[in-house]
Amino acid sequence: LWFGILDLAQNLIQRSSRTATYGLCYYLAIESLNKAPSNFIQFKSIELLLNLYNIDNKMFSMIEIDFDQYTQKLNENNLEDSLEKFRNLLTFVKGKYLEDLKTLSNNTGKGKEGKGKNLNQNLYLKKKQISNSNILDVIADEITCPISSEPTDQLCILKCQHMLALSNLKKLKQKICPNCREKIEDNDIRYLPQNSIYKNLYTKFFESGHILPSIELENSDQLYDSDESDNSEVELILTKKKKFMNSIIKLNSKISSPILSRITKKQHPTYQNIIKEINEKNYEKAESLCKEFMKFFPKSYSLRCILAYIYRCLNNYEQAHLFLKEAINLSPKRPVAYFIRGEIFFRQNKYDKAIVNLNKSINYKSKINNSYILLGNSYLLRNKSHDHESIKNYNIALKNDPNNYLCLKNCVYAYEIEGDYLSTLNLLDKLLNINKEDSLVLCYYGEILYNMTQYRKAISYFTKAYTIDPENIHNLNRRAITYYIIKEYDKVLSDLDKIIQLDPLNSSAYCLKSLTYCTKNDNKNAKVSFKKYAELLNSDNNLAKIQLFHLEYLLNKNSSEDLNNILTKIDRIYNYSIYEDKFLQLIRCKIYIELKEYSLAKIVLDFVEFAFIGYFIQDHPDFRSYLYEDCEINKNDFTKFGIVDEFSKYMYKEQQVYFVSNLTNLNSELCQFQESDISSLSGLVLSSKNENLHLVLPKLNIVYDYDYDYFICKMNVKKILSEDCFIKFIHNSNYREDLLKHEDVSKLEGLGWIEYQTSIFGLHYQLSIEINSIEMQIEYIRLGLNLNTITYIPDMSFMSYLFPVYRKFFSNVPETFKDKYFSRKEMENLLDLKDILNSL
């Protein structure tokens, strides 16, 4: 039967002049060849294909390719015997067919007119007709409904000779021809069933664009395109497709998967060409294709998003925003348009608008991981007070992509700004695990250790960075500063000489060089370096001026005239920040003390940063005596608090600081916990040692400012003795408490002296402190407000002439190497086309 059908097809093409007939016979022959159960079927399929090739070798030029593909298929399946038989069969059939053609040609040449002659004439006409057509186009045109403009499974020919699909005919409310308005009578309708053709060629019709994929199957989870038609004609198309698919499923459950699979716009050739052009960065061509395609889908959310992406790539943000606005109006609760709009606002440096749109995208269940990174970047660049929001979003992104280098780097910087140095180091470790040769990360690691007062560890990382990149001046500078703190002055000078050799105009190197010579009491070299620093000074840099004034003060302590000149210069500085003002007031205070103008020094002292005050007073005994007298310290009786010495009285009354060593004057049993510490303000601290410690402070009566009302504890957690450890701060007046358990305490272990800001505040304070299974020291409790929960306290005995926060005179790695660390190109490359397409 199969052989007979192929034989009938061969006879049909010799007598037919219809291109559609040739096309159907071609697909019949190809399908038969691919599924041939015997050599007989192969033979007839080959013969039929050769006949078609003879009719028009241009139209059917793919037949030779079909033979090659079939041969390759047999080869890939290791069917060597079948492969050899097919090659022999193909050679035989081609030879036989050529002999038949010669015979036919000879008969025609002998004057046998009629059938032979007419056949040749028909073949000529057919060639002329076929050459300018596409096989599938012709077949599709034969079975296309003029109403829906798509191939259909059953056509109806009306009396007026107009055609339409049976499904569309049934939907007519009035039995009138849609074209000529002639009344339709049932008896005048001729039915042309096309089920077999439609079913077998459906996939090819779809892939070539004859069938528009504007709807999903009825059981689809996402009917995104269901709102993309606004007329009844398209609604008929959608209904027809649903009914057709259901009928196919009922008729044949084994039908091929492409027909039964979910149909979307994404499979359409035009859509795929749009994506291809975008990937090849042919954005203008992609724009043109997309606009044309959108005519078929006038309410398409996805196409508007793609167009917006194209305009974004063309830097035409105005047009991009226009299409995104339309997309959002169509589907306000879909996330992709908000994500694209947020990314464009980020590119435009409109971080507030970027944050609003990116948050909406996430709230509407965006699954694009980069949306969290982009949101974190927006918070980071908008305002440093929102670093916790940056960190939150970065951590979400890192859960999905733990080794995202850009996200890790940005999150490191956010943690540093927050003052969470332990988390900073943890992420820097991850960066080094990815690339241990990254000299910037190594240098940054050293900077964080420096901030944590772990100076020798810091030097080891600066040295690793130096080995990889010996010409990194920033790294050499930071190592030189660290060497200064640990009093290795020759190494300081060595690193500074390297910097000057690399950059003879580096002013900061001469500044630190002068400071180092001052510390070594080598005033001659100190003045030479100072002079060079003054020559190179940037007059617009206030911090550089502050360092100049400080050096000038150190070099001219014994000259009243020079000191007054420095004060005059300081008074001429304008537009300085609050932070810069604290340094200026410190220099003023030092100069007033040298000039013995103690009343002015006392006024300025109120504006000096707390970190300087205690040591400042201790270093100047005459000024200290003046303060005690002026503040009438000895007229105050603080014995009920255990405060008896003048320094403790002054610090309590004027600075709201209570030294816990005062408790030994109230409870002699605490003397066993008292020990000396030269790095402390009072020289004495209480240590829990290897025992538990419970401290009950007296009810303190401190006058305070409502803006500065948190309890801050200076402490040094040396060693955790048990996992049951805790530190508990209890406000006895309102029973509030701040409890640090093992996880919290472990973050403080080994950090050295820090100020820990509790969450406790209130009037007429009485505080209790419980320490369990921890070896730690406590120096004081004070009232105030720090920027961070943990503030690292430098050992002032190491600082010499260096400002305690000298590091703040220099930008860190991310800020110094902004273009490398915060690559704008990387930050603006988070809108990935694949992410968008997968989310549409």
Per-residue pLDDT reduced to its tens digit, 282-318 = 999 999 999 988 887 888 899 999 999 999 999 999 9
* DSSP letter (8 states) at residue 298: T
- Angle at the Cα of 368 (from 364 to 370), degrees rounded to 5? 120
Cβ–Cβ under 8 Å, residues 401 and 411: no
In the chain, % helix, strand, coil (3-state, to 5) comes to 60, 10, 30
Provide the residue type at 495 as one letter: D
Q: Is the domain of 192 the same as that of 96? A: no
Q: Do 645 and 783 fall into the same domain?
A: yes
Q: Is residue 543 part of a domain?
A: no
DSSP state of 661: G
Residue 757's domain is classified under what CATH number? 2.60.120
pTM of the model: 0.65
Tens of pLDDT along 230-249?
334 434 444 544 454 444 44
Task: Confirm whether 205 is domain-assigned.
Answer: yes
At 346, list the tokens. Answer: 């980020």
Same domain, residue pair 126 and 152: no
680 and 757, same domain (yes or no) = yes
Q: Does the residue 584 lie in any domain?
A: no
Over residues 735-757, mean pLDDT: 87
- Assess contact for 776 and 717: CB atoms under 8 A: yes
Residues 112 and 10 in one domain: yes
Distance CA(659)–CA(372), nearest Å, equals 46
Give the C-alpha separation, 461 to 455, whole Å: 10
Out of 47-51, 113-117, 586-590, pick the least confident: 113-117
Q: Is 109 helix (H, G, I), strand (E, B) or coil?
A: helix
pLDDT 10s digits, 426-463: 999 999 999 999 999 999 999 999 988 889 999 999 99
Q: pLDDT class for 63, splitting at 50, 70, 90?
A: confident
Asked if 117 and 149 sit in the same domain, the reply is no
CA dist 613 and 678 (Å) reads 16
> Into how many domains does the chain fold?
3
Residue at 388 is within a domain: no
Task: Report which residue type is found at 212.
Answer: L
Within a domain: 310: no
Q: What is the domain extent for residue 238?
A: 143-266
**Is 212 a member of any domain?**
yes
Domain-terminating residue out of 209, 235, 266 = 266
User: Considering 266, 289, 306, which residue would you say is the last residue of a domain?
Assistant: 266
Cβ-based neighbour number of residue 770 at 10 Å? 16
Q: In what order do the strands lie in the sheet with 190-193?
A: 163-165, 154-157, 190-193
Q: What are residue 57's phi and psi, to 5 degrees?
A: -70, -15
Q: What value, to the nearest 5°, has the Cα angle with vertex 179 and ends 175 and 185?
A: 30
Q: Is there a single domain that holds both residue 181 and residue 62?
A: no
Last residue of a domain, one of 266, 300, 317: 266
Could you tell me if 18 and 155 lie in one domain?
no
Give how far Cα 758 sits from Cα of 211, 234, 429, 712, Å: 69, 67, 29, 6
Q: Which among 612, 559, 785 is positioned nearest to 601, based on CA atoms?
A: 612
Residue 646 lies in a domain: yes
Residues in the chain: 840
Domain match, 648 and 791 both: yes
229 shares its domain with 93: no
Question: How confident is residue 527, by pLDDT bands cut at 50, 70 and 90?
Answer: very high
pLDDT tens for 321-351 read: 999 999 999 999 999 999 999 999 999 999 9
Same domain, 76 and 195: no
Q: Report how many helices (DSSP H) and strands (DSSP E) the chain contains, helices first.
A: 40, 16
Is 68 in the same domain as 195?
no
In a domain, 498, yes or no: no
Number of neighbouring beta carbons within 10 Å of residue 317: 17
Work out whether the CA dihedral 65, 70, 76, 80 comes out positive or negative. negative
| Tokens describing residue 466 | 């130096």
**Both structure tokens of 136:** 């599938």
